[in-house]
Structure 1
């Protein structure tokens, strides 16, 4: 094959490659100012060859106004010898009026004997798909950022090799850390763990990869505040084949406190703050199931002549009396569980030896007698029935015995206590 034919084949292959790669070529004579554009350049913009007059200003006329200054500056810097080549992203207007993103790359290929540039050549590649993907990614990231901001979620990352951490602004805010601290100045997150949660939290984070459960624990912030947080973490493999721990963190203190408040409200009487009947019975059942626990007893307490307090002083006086009695029971049964069963009936569950129940009952009766009410003509007093738990006894049985003992105390004069185990030949004490 003749040499010139071989060279022509190379040129043809080069031109074919340009067309296939959707590249437009420009060739600028810096001496005459003439600039030639390849057919593929015109085709890229939707024009037929010869449809536009070729000039050195053509590309600039088609360049988006916002990109012109940047494009000119890129060329001038190269001509001044400040850059090895021209490389800039610009938008060119197509024939249909739409804008095409191109990557413009080129440079000086000829100089005169004095070293002055005389010719520049370059290519412009269609990067519209890349730009569309970048824009889509940017929009996705923006939506993600807005979603994170709305959800108050922080992002963190930990490199176990370098032992360094990255915390975003929200994570730093959760831990109460100075937002200006450099990554290497951050303490290890373990330093913020609440002592009671440290072992659990560290163990669950070490198990990341084996489990995807949310991890909940408490932290102690820089300012000493205790906060409840929940994290979700996973191991991510980096391009260098190392593993990094990446996750989210959310301050759930308000959620925890709200749930605790709802739970407390569901388990406690709104007027007195004592346990409700259902909660008391549940705890009593748990206590009776504990066969290895110490002896325990139930005190069934009824306020004598409570209706007279309401009739004389009104419901406000009655409510005040109930709250005072609740305070007495909380104080006398500090180690047990006190409940308002309903109306003017109360109960105490307490671990106590049989021989001490009478002493505690007398203490309660005396404390109630010392209370004053807004109903000046009615004195407060209480009758108490006591049932000491028997092996294998259930809730219904022990409450029934305590109730029967309380009824016996009221029947025999009120303001006294009765041990239900001794009813009907009940042992009655007036606690006088």
Structure 2
């Protein structure tokens, strides 16, 4: 059975008549089937690579040091919100997108590949033309020019671009959830304990007032009006407490119907006024239509810390 082969023909006229008309031609044929097979395999690899890039949402760019030109692929232009039909972009175009607070650090990070052969990772923010702020992660590597060893004169900086805005938002949400009570939005017990220890260790914040607030009649409200009314009351109390606090103070829900407050640079007179305001906020808390006319009340204990060596 026969089979197809790829060949390349090279030839030309080796003899012509007096008028220049070719009389004899000579040529050679070279079997390039292996080369074509290798090209086909390489194309398959490239297809898989492009598919992987598309699936990951990753863009590719490179900057040519010799020409000073930068080239962004379609995905990179899409991430930056750049509308352009050409891959070539102006040299300083990228810098114009950087968030003002990240310009210096991001610019320095993009010079690191000139000093190492390792892959460098950098995260920064950009401000798109529509004003939207996005978080970007780039992996950078220097590709040397074998003809010109000086990295400052030739070679390319090759980079990837990935939009990690959603990842950052999830990180922030998880960090917030780890420190706050899900129902009221106040600090949780663990976060309050850390904050208290930090405040005690800071002499400039002393004397420190620590309030323990325990709601009265809350169990009866829960039993009679239901958990929905109880949740409403807790949220209303939390909102009222926050409205009483000066900017430097902090509030936490320790669990159940227990709250705690932390107020730096607070003397006994200030603490008394804050306690009265908290008691009033508890009495005015919204209990919902299913509750009786009885209002909530609270018991408050106050401790004063004026020694940085105090432990909790």
TM-score w.r.t. length of structure 2 = 0.88
Residue 12 of structure 2 corresponds to which residue in structure 1?
A: 107
Superposed CA deviations along residues 299-331 of structure 1, whole A, max 9, x for unmatched, are 111111111211332211111000001112223
- Within the alignment, does 1:394 sit opposite 2:308 as a pair? no
- Residue 331 of structure 1: which of 243, 265, 268 is its match? 243
SS in 2 for 1:373: coil
Alignment of 1:43-192 (within 5 A): 96-181=1-86, 183-185=88-90, 187-192=92-97
Residues in 2 aligned to 1:154 and 1:294: alpha-carbon distance in whole angstroms: 52
Please report the RMSD computed on the Cα atoms of aligned residues, expressed in angstroms. 2.1
1:370 maps to what in 2?
Answer: 284
Secondary structure of the structure 1 residue equivalent to 2:252: strand
Residue range with higher mean Cα deviation, 104-113 or 217-226: 104-113
Is the alpha carbon distance of 1:263 and 1:309 closer, same or farther for their aligned partners in structure 2, counting shifts above 3 Å?
same
- Mean Cα deviation higher: 156-165 or 132-141: 156-165
Residue among 257, 260, 268 paired with 1:347? 260
Matches of 1:168 and 1:109, distance apart in 2: 48
Post-superposition offset of 1:289:
2.5
Paired position in structure 1 for 2:151: none
Aligned equivalent of 2:137, options 217, 226, 230: 230
How far did 1:187 drift? 4.6
Deviations 1:368-410 (A, max 9, x none): 2222322132212222212222311122xxxxxxxxxxxxxxx
- For residues 206 and 295 of structure 1, what CA distance do their matches in structure 2 show? 49
The CA distance in 1 between the partners of 2:102 and 2:176, in whole Å, is 23
Please give the alpha-carbon distance, in whole angstroms, between the structure 1 residues aligned to 2:282 and 2:185. Answer: 18
User: Which ranges in structure 1 are unaligned for 5 or more consecutive residues?
Assistant: 1-95, 396-432
Q: SS at 1:214's partner residue?
A: strand
Name the TM-score, length of structure 1 as normaliser.
Answer: 0.65
Once the two structures are TM-superposed, the CA of residue 290 in structure 1 deviates from its matched residue by: 2.6
**Offset at 1:232?**
0.8
Unmatched 5+ stretches in structure 2: 149-153
Equivalent of 2:233, from 310, 318, 321? Answer: 321
Tell me, yes or no, if the aligned pair for 1:154 and 1:170 is still in contact at 8 Å: yes
Do 2:73 and 2:87's aligned partners in 1 also have CA atoms closer than 8 Å? no
1:361 to 275, 279, 286: 275
Q: Distance in 2 between matches of 1:128 and 1:181?
A: 35
CA distance in 2, matches of 1:116, 1:358: 115
State how 1:216-255 maps to structure 2 within 5 Å.
Answer: 216-241=123-148, 242-255=154-167
Aligned length: 300
Deviation at 1:184, TM superposition (A): 4.1
- Relative contact order (alpha carbons < 8 A, sep ≥ 6): 1 or 2 greater? 2
Deviation digits for residues 90-113 of structure 1, max 9, x if unmatched? xxxxxx422222111112223333
